[in-house]
Structure 1
């Protein structure tokens, strides 16, 4: 009789053939053996299938290929549908694990039944190389980590850095209404039902590509809008069960609205394209709605003047 593995390692992939060997091998090199490795190919057009096929002789490795591309969030949720392990550990297809990652994460999950999420420091590699040391360590209340990250950035981590319990998927899967915040939204829902443990070691390796650092300007600007609506949604719906007496959500919303001034600065030189007028209007409307329009525009004018002087 087959028994479920302790951990489901999930690799969602799309056209990442050149990185899959490293990712898969980092799982097979784990010191902790009780896992299943599930690879879900989101209808790749490169030679991903050929790369993955080399590893299918290992009975822990399973491969699925979607008949159509269901999007990044859809593929993450498809991975969850196949998982059978007690603990869920994603690995993005261009990232890697430290050989002892599963061993150390599982030890924490086993020791602390109230912990819903484990993360760790991480090594950034590729186009940039450094270690991201997290601001908190060891056992923390879920709400403490939620408040701390919402006042800062999503330092909790990318999917490669985080482990959570399959039993806690009662909070739901990854939500398609978010683009770059979909993982943070999931972590905050996990932290609403349990605590967090932060291992102060770099146990995951997150790859940064050159095109991530020189990405499409307008696409990056849309992240400011998503940030604003994310925080606005926290106030309106409070899916994360936060205590607003301890958490100044209104100030954070105004801060996120004011960040939209960066959209104005970037989009003004591109107003010859009609679609950019819509982006500008969206930024201006957010600034007006949160009553931060005039001070934000003053900042924008100052920054534009400084830029003009530097280019003169």
Structure 2
């Protein structure tokens, strides 16, 4: 059996689609648990009409526990061996549970399953993951920590209930709370990636601010530091690679949370962010590395702006400009480097 968990807060307008995508599964041996984080909309009304199905249950928190608190509340209720989260605004392919269950049964060493995803309710596109099929857990951890968090959000993932012996979602993370959880779980088993878009992720219009960028780089640095204590990451080669990742994440803190805060240093929040990043930068000795990342980013942005401007200039004018002696070498080098 699979325990399907839907944590929700004020998403009544999406819940019907989400619940129906579970009830329409070709795999029927599941329990569906909706955990309402003290919503103020008509969530209860939406869910109640599904409670005639004995597989569906509904719990409402007495107070709002926050996103991570509600995710962990969900983990109190599963009875099944396999746990499948679905965000309250997402949907899943009709054969997702069937295919995920088959993999778990076939590969007892698999700790976690994920898949490609289809974005919807906006500009639609399929996100294909960089690895496919059965992969060592350690390999996936190193790959994501040196690239990006491609394992995916909870809607894309299913894991074994036994993994919870490693702990639940950490309250001290906010942006990468799921990624940190997946890393922990992959220390005790393999990862299986199904190269099909079985998760449907709703694309919300959002804007990533510098504040979010700063918080993300701090969390990634702390995640990298955790790798030193991971089970099975204790040989010399692992330690060298972890050290390299830690320094790279620290350099990102220098770039995004220290150097970029200097123009706003008089602001209290920016000053706190600056000194937090300064401490990490000094500890890991990556002042120059962080500055190099900042400079490379500046060059890339400058190139794009100049190229965009150049496209607006008539060809005859471009020829005249090139033949002139007024172009600084530093500007030309931005195009030819």
Fold shared per TM-score above 0.5: yes
Describe the superposition over 1:135-190 as per-residue Cα deviations: whole angstroms up to 9, x where unpaired. Answer: 21112222222222222222112111111111332222112222222212222222
Q: 1:116 aligns with which of 76, 98, 111?
A: 111
The answer on 1:158 being equivalent to 2:153 is yes
Tell me which moved more, 75-84 or 116-125: 116-125
2:270 corresponding residue in structure 1: 276
1:100-115 to structure 2, matched below 5 A, reads: 100-115=95-110
1:229-248 to structure 2, matched below 5 A, reads: 229-235=222-228, 238-247=229-238, 248=241
Aligned alpha-carbon RMSD (Å) = 2.4
CA distance in 2, matches of 1:102, 1:205: 13
1:1-150 to structure 2, matched below 5 A, reads: 6-150=1-145
Q: Judging changes above 3 Å, is the alpha-carbon distance between structure 1 residues 104 and 50 closer, same or farther for their aligned structure 2 residues?
A: same
Describe the superposition over 1:24-81 as per-residue Cα deviations: whole angstroms up to 9, x where unpaired. Answer: 1110111101101000011111221122122122111101000011121221111111
Give 3-state SS (helix, strand or coil) of 2:197's partner: strand
**Greater gyration radius:** 2
Tell me which moved more, 172-181 or 105-114: 172-181
1:227 corresponding residue in structure 2: 220
CA distance in 2, matches of 1:137, 1:146: 14
Higher relative contact order (CA 8 A, sep 6+): 1
Describe the superposition over 1:284-310 as per-residue Cα deviations: whole angstroms up to 9, x where unpaired. Answer: 222222111134235536756987996
**CA offset at residue 265 of structure 1?**
5.2
Tell me which moved more, 62-71 or 164-173: 164-173
Report how many aligned residue pairs link the two structures: 303
CA distance in 2, matches of 1:19, 1:105: 24
Q: 2:183 aligns with which of 162, 185, 188?
A: 188
Give 3-state SS (helix, strand or coil) of 1:259's partner: helix
CA distance in 1, matches of 2:252, 2:271: 18
Tell me which moved more, 246-255 or 259-268: 259-268
Describe the superposition over 1:13-32 as per-residue Cα deviations: whole angstroms up to 9, x where unpaired. Answer: 11112211111111011110
CA distance in 2, matches of 1:77, 1:187: 14
The answer for unaligned runs of 5 or more in structure 1 is: 1-5
Per the normalisation by structure 2, the TM-score is 0.83
Tell me which moved more, 33-42 or 152-161: 152-161
1:288 corresponding residue in structure 2: 282
Per the normalisation by structure 1, the TM-score is 0.89
The answer for unaligned runs of 5 or more in structure 2 is: 307-337
8 Å contact 1:141–1:195 — kept in the other structure?
Answer: yes
